[in-house]
Amino acid sequence: MASLFSLVLLSICLLSSPFLSNANAHTKLGFTTDLIHRDSPRSPLFNPNETPSQRLRNAIHRSANRVVHFIAKDASLDSPQTEITSNGGEYLMNVSLGTPPFPIMAIADTGSDLLWTQCKPCDDCYTQDDPLFDPQESSTYRDVSCSSSQCTALQKDASCSSEDSTCSYSMSYGDHSHTYGNIATDTLTLGSTNTRPVQLKNVIIGCGHKNNGTFNKKGSGIIGLGGGAVSLISQLSDSIEGKFSYCLVPLSSRNDSTSKMNFGTNAVVSGTGTVSTPLIQKTPETFYYLTLESISVGSKQLKYPGSDSGNGEGNIIIDSGTTLTILPTEFYSELEAAVKSSIDAESRQDPGSGLNLCYSATEDLKLPVITMHFNGADVKLNSFNSFIQVSEDLVCFTFRGSESLAIYGNLSQMNFLVGYDTVSKTVSFKPADCANM
């Protein structure tokens, strides 16, 4: 990390956000940073004693747990409180906080908004391997007052006591984990593959002083990349023209490539093979919603429930932190039957992962082509998007049923350049070789 931040810094004030004043509003950014999968050898969460099959099964179980928190959030439409899994998210980013820069390995999460980390003094905190961020050591750290626009932007997540005028936040998670602390502003530094790290000033952060539950001791915080007012995407606002994209390297990749996340001018997705679908605004605004119209298994097309009615808009969440693609139970059963009937082999189950539809991994196994038909965008999946090898002799379908919601997960997005334009309200997909980008 030291060598990363010894380079010349590109500095910009986050002043184009609606609750930040502006001296540099017209500065436009374009930069790319690494996304590190939590099971990569580069990740502090990497367990060298686990086999690839064990890591994959763990990711599948985390995916199932993460769904619970989307349900909890979606069920409370009158409350903007962020409900994410405490160890949710499959990708990490190297960032630094404060002046001088203090390195943090944080979860990059499109399913949450606030950027927060554990801070000194920590009165009631989970054990963390890395040193805690000390706000007193940062010359650019500033607590936020209760009357400020930064505090009111958090709405019901923020609170103020009569004894202290400092804005506080409190977040509870579905597994009873929690974080509580001060809302503040400080400088955030992102590593950039363009050789110059990008320094972002006046970023709204949560400085957690009471955090406990099932948080991983090797993680230092969360970078919220959702659609809410205090997410990093919203804070960057006009500086990145509402654009970010990522390219996720397949889990089967044998080289040491990392996935990439792009911002601003670097995030434009265009050219041959690009398709785009509307990005739908719904409550809660944290999540990114798309409209799925149907799914094809080979030449057989299955209409998605409610897609031909007025209330079918925004019927699936796209999320980089959920491993599997989750569909309504009844429709999933129909899809599974279509996939099963198109494969000339005996199906099996995998008790270790809980996946329903699996096959022996033989050389002559022929898998059908799965195509996702979003509104205006047909996304043809590769075989590694729709089937994953969970052991040496077993491959399983990467879709799963749920009673309550639908999520387009990261296995389905691998080797696609996926671009979000929050100004034009579109999400674009372009086939790509993400390991070589």
- With 0-12 / 13-18 / 19 or more C-beta atoms within 10 angstroms meaning exposed / middle / buried, residue 65 is middle
What is the C-alpha to C-alpha distance for residues 421 and 429, in angstroms, rounded to an integer?
Answer: 12
With contact defined as beta carbons under 8 Å apart, do 108 and 93 qualify? Answer: yes
With contact defined as beta carbons under 8 Å apart, do 278 and 426 qualify? Answer: yes
What is the C-alpha to C-alpha distance for residues 426 and 106, in angstroms, rounded to an integer?
Answer: 27
3-state secondary structure of 94: strand
Give, in degrees to the nearest 5, the angle at Cα 92 between 291 and 412.
35
3-state secondary structure of 246: strand
What is the C-alpha to C-alpha distance for residues 328 and 13, in angstroms, rounded to an integer?
Answer: 43
Q: Which amino acid is at 302?
A: L
With contact defined as beta carbons under 8 Å apart, do 197 and 191 qualify? Answer: yes
Residue carrying structure tokens 């406990």: 212
Options 39, 109, 113, 186, the catalytic residue: 109
With contact defined as beta carbons under 8 Å apart, do 119 and 135 qualify? Answer: yes
3-state secondary structure of 235: helix
3-state secondary structure of 78: coil
Q: Is 319 a catalytic residue?
A: yes
Options 39, 157, 238, 319, the catalytic residue: 319
By residue count, the chain amounts to: 437
With contact defined as beta carbons under 8 Å apart, do 106 and 91 qualify? Answer: no
How far CA 269 is from CA of 70, 214, 246, 259, 290, in Å, comes to: 28, 37, 10, 16, 17
| Paired strand residues for 402 | 328
* Tokens of residue 136, six digits: 């007193």
- Annotated catalytic residues are 109, 319
